[in-house]
Amino acid sequence: MTHALIVIDVQNDFCPGGALAVSGGDEIVAPINSLMDEFEAVILTQDWHPAEHSSFASSHPGKNPFDMTQMPYGPQVLWPDHCVQGTQGAAFHVDLRTDADLILRKGFRGSIDSYSAFFENDQKTPTGLKGYLETRGIEKLTLVGLATDFCVHFSAVDAAKLGFDVTVRQDACRAIDLDGSLDAAIQAMRDAGVTLA
Ligand code: VGL
Ligand code: ZN
């Protein structure tokens, strides 16, 4: 059974000094680099938003980062501007190995956010990753990266729902932890049948 490592969003804006810094985000780079040698396939994801993306608080007059808003597809957290296409903030951490098989970009549509590597936040629009994995005969996934409670969480739950055998290596993830979002994410991943290691 082919086993892939999926490295979620290890980008400058999610590391200390970045626009949406995750505490300790840079600490996972070296462990992830070592892990890559243990897998038959390595896939990196890259949060990749156009300027003025609808998930940015700056696109909603009167709103502040971390406020909630209502989108046509449901509630959405509003973020500081981050991971704008082609900027240094959207680049991978300088020490992250990028000798991966595939780099999958997500969140590139202006009107919809995409936490998951499989479906955008409407939970319907596919990114194409399912087809890629199936075509390569990959059935087993290990997820690492940033942030545990958003992009790792939604990717892991979607992967499990799609029938992949999914493990999240929590030691190689770091969380934003907004209003209990980490505890909720852990519960949701457990309920979906994700193995938390
Ligand atoms: C992420 C918030 C906004 C993540 C991406 O990678 O977890 N979180 N965009
Ligand atoms: Zn984003």
Report, as residue numbers or ranges, the catalytic residues.
9, 106, 151
Three-state SS letters, the chain: CEEEEEEECCEHHHCCCCCCCCCCHHHHHHHHHHHHHHCCEEEEEEECECCCCCCEHHHCCCCCCCCEEEECCEEEECECCCCECCCHHHCECCCCCCCCCEEEEECCCCCCCCCCCCECCCCCCECCHHHHHHHCCEEEEEEEEECHHHHHHHHHHHHHHCCCEEEEEEEEEECCCCCCHHHHHHHHHHHCCCEEC
Q: Which residue, 88, 99, 109, is CA-closest to 14?
A: 88
Distance 39 CA to ligand 2 centre (A): 27
| pLDDT single digits (tens) 113-171 | 999 999 999 999 999 999 999 999 999 999 999 999 999 999 999 999 999 999 999 99
- Residue of 6, 7, 9 to test ligand 1 pocket, by largest number of atoms within 8 Å of CB: 9
Q: How much is the pLDDT for 1? A: 84
pLDDT at residue 62, as a whole number = 97
Measured from CB, residues less than 6 Å from any atom of ligand 1 are 9, 14, 47, 79, 115, 146-147, 150-151
Predicted pLDDT at 180? 96
Which residue numbers in the chain have pLDDT < 50? Answer: none
- The model carries a pTM of 0.98
pLDDT on residue 114: 97
Distance 83 CA to ligand 1 centre (A): 9
